[in-house]
Amino acid sequence: MDIFEILAREPLEVAAKALLGRHIERMLDGQTLATRIVEVEAYHQSDPASHTFRGPSPRNQSMFGPAGHAYVYFTYGMHHCLNVTAGKEGEGAGILIRALEPLEGLETMAVNRVQKELNPRNLCSGPGKLTQALAIDLSFNGHDLTQAPLELKEGVSVSEHDIITTARIGISKAIDTPWRFYLKDNPYISKP
């Protein structure tokens, strides 16, 4: 099963863990910015912390659409966050990308981040940082992630042994639900 089939068919928790180790590639001005997913969180309509908990709205409609698309939202008056949609059509589910390991195009990411010194660990180590580094904004909401200029690629799947599970970060509801997953000992995650 490829990653897009997993997103569409498997339970949300399984799909979230399956995203770890996959690649996200952003084409920008003819250059490829390549990254690897190292930290994610799952959000489902049955979950009070999810934007889909209260049902469909103009803002969250892409999470009720087909799996394997982008759900991008704007928050705190200044940050964008990227999710990969999951589940069947009509099911409001998404997986927040919380951190990426930069593989290619680090200097452009640093420019996008307005980072003075190129510190690879400070490029994509947070949901707001990575959208800035990859120049992702609301125009990508609903984007099909099989298509340029923003693509989800197979990468390498990760063994269960290398995945750490914790509660999610930065929310006020369902704070104990263990739906955050990250790669063990990876230096590019947002928080230990």
Partner DNA sequence: CCGCAGATTGACT
Partner DNA sequence: GTCAATCTGCGGG
C-alpha to C-alpha distance for 15 and 61, rounded to whole angstroms: 20
Of 30 and 127, nearer to DNA (C-beta) is: 127
Is-contact 85 161, C-beta < 8 A?
no
Is-contact 66 7, C-beta < 8 A?
no
Q: Which residues bind DNA (CB under 7 A)?
A: 41, 43, 49-52, 54, 57-60, 63, 71, 74-79, 81, 83, 94, 96, 113, 122, 126-129, 168-172, 190
Q: Smallest distance from the beta carbon of 5 to DNA, in angstroms? A: 22
Q: Smallest distance from the beta carbon of 12 to DNA, in angstroms? A: 12
Residue 48, preceding bond cis, omega within 30 degrees?
A: no
Q: Smallest distance from the beta carbon of 30 to DNA, in angstroms? A: 26
Of 148 and 191, nearer to DNA (C-beta) is: 191
Q: Smallest distance from the beta carbon of 112 to DNA, in angstroms? A: 11
Strand pairing class (93-104; 31-44): antiparallel
Of 89 and 161, nearer to DNA (C-beta) is: 89
Of 3 and 40, nearer to DNA (C-beta) is: 40
Is-contact 113 50, C-beta < 8 A?
no
Instruction: Count CB atoms within 10 A of the CB of residue 74.
Output: 14
